[in-house]
Structure 1
Amino acid sequence: MAEWLSPEGWQAVCLSLWVAFWAMLCSLPLAVAVAWLLARRDFWGKQLLNGLVHLPLILPPVVTGYVLLLGFGRRGIFGPALADIGIVFSFRWTGAALAAAVMGFPLMVRAIRLSIEAVDLRLEAAARTLGASGIWVFVTVTLPLALPGVLAGAILGFAKALGEFGATITFVSAIPGETQTLPSAIYAALQVPGQDAVAARMVAVSVVLAMGALIASELLARSLSRRIGASHA
């Protein structure tokens, strides 16, 4: 099995999993907060925020990557200041994770928002009448009941990050061992004559990883839903 892909191919697979994991982990808390705001609060600019959150789904990924380059590149708006404190995104795996997080963020927010909206408001109101603060209501009532959606959103974001290509290659290029994730490795293989079989094997790995993430999301969400339903029966 180890010979099925070249060492460079497995390196791209491992890097993709690493990037997707950190993209999901770092963006999840913000996704939960934004989803709660959109689901439970009415405020000026709500539709604008909703539009900005979902903008990466509508814009070409290359545009998103270019915007990240303008903001977080070495000569970008925030890049030099971040570099002064040791945070560098340009041509680093951290930049690939940032691009993947931005592209997967809308899917995470949407899944979590729908799950929060499905939580009965009367349960939250009952907790408030017992003296619970807003944060405590969220932690003890809303979040546990919305957990299946949070988990589903997290895995959807992870799966999206695994397949991210356009924004990543625009922002951090495709440096082997540093920023060349599985999609960019597939693209690179397709540019070399006689490498179709190599590309096809990497495509197969990509499909297996994505399907595995989606199936795991569905199974875990169903399991959590059953447990939550049983605990409140």
Structure 2
Amino acid sequence: MSSPQHSGVPRWVFVPAAAGALFIVLPLVALASRVEWSQFWSLITSESSRAALLLSLRTSATATLLCIVLGVPMALVLARTSFRGQSLLRSLVLLPLVLPPVVGGIALLYTFGRQGLLGHTIEVLGLQIAFSTTAVVIAQTFVSLPFLVVSLEGSLRTAGDRYEIVAATLGARPTTVLRRVTLPLVLPGLAAGAVLSFARALGEFGATITFAGSLEGVTRTLPLEIYLQRESDPDAAVALSLVLVVVAVLVIGLVRGTRSDAP
């Protein structure tokens, strides 16, 4: 049996590396070992589970579209322009990555809630956002948007702007350059960011339950359903948790695929 190629890496490094891998893998193995496989399909297809899964898929897809609509311009501004306060703006954009989700939920509640900064005005117009499906989408977008911005900004900086300069020199308008040159060039990065945003939205819990609550069929997404089933039906909670693990593995595979296709 040939030894692994390590390119000068000290042999002792493999010991903590293996320990770290076990630290990640063992809990997943333990989770899979607790699944009641004979009842797995019935557990994940119960009425409440199906409602939560479908709601999660629908809201996560909507949140991903919002991330693309808002995140692509943000990444372009951060990667292709220079202005005073740009570093501060980038820090604020990345804030949801390190902010506890429940804090983000409270911030959204005091922005769009009935007594919030914008909520009172919105309610006068006959709209109520907090504790609705719209609130779920907003919460998911809030926590997912940085993933798309970071991924796309990195792709834009790596690709450089030489092709865009050439296109502009040949007389192409800025919008044409963006549509025909810039976006096709960074499409793998955009796809990877969109997939990551979808995965983050699908697994969102803290901001959602704080801002949207847990109403079955309205705001109770799959992570909330797992949390509630943990006490009343542990077998269902384990089965649904495994579903999210499988989705996460598929997402990682998609991201790696889009990265490997990058020029």
TM over 0.5: yes
Deviations 1:1-58 (A, max 9, x none): 7523221011111111111000001121210111111111111110111011111111
User: How far apart in 1 are the matches of 2:108 and 2:163?
Assistant: 41
The correspondence of residues 35-184 of structure 1 with structure 2, limited to 5 A, is 35-85=75-125, 87-184=127-224
User: How far apart in 2 are the matches of 1:61 and 1:196?
Assistant: 24
Deviations 1:87-115 (A, max 9, x none): 43211111011101110111110001111
1:217 positional shift: 3.0
* Map of 1:197 onto structure 2: 235
* Map of 1:3 onto structure 2: 42
User: How far apart in 1 are the matches of 2:135 and 2:160?
Assistant: 39
Q: 1:120 to 1:56 in 2, by over 3 A?
A: closer
Q: SS of the counterpart of 2:159?
A: coil
User: How far apart in 2 are the matches of 1:31 and 1:139?
Assistant: 16
How many residues were matched structurally? Answer: 223
Contact 1:88 1:95 in 2 (8 A): no
- Indicate whether 1:210 and 2:210 are aligned: no
1:202 positional shift: 0.7
Q: 1:189 to 1:4 in 2, by over 3 A?
A: closer
Deviations 1:112-171 (A, max 9, x none): 111111223221111111112222212211111011100110110000000000010010
* Map of 2:36 onto structure 1: none
Structure 1, 117-126 or 162-171: larger mean CA deviation: 117-126
User: How far apart in 2 are the matches of 1:189 and 1:104?
Assistant: 25
Q: 1:85 to 1:213 in 2, by over 3 A?
A: farther
Contact 1:62 1:166 in 2 (8 A): yes
Q: SS of the counterpart of 1:118?
A: helix
User: How far apart in 1 are the matches of 2:216 and 2:164?
Assistant: 50
User: How far apart in 1 are the matches of 2:205 and 2:59?
Assistant: 12
Q: What is the TM-score when the length of structure 2 is the normalising length?
A: 0.80
Q: SS of the counterpart of 1:22?
A: helix
The answer for unaligned runs of 5 or more in structure 1 is none
Q: SS of the counterpart of 1:23?
A: helix
Identity score, percent: 39
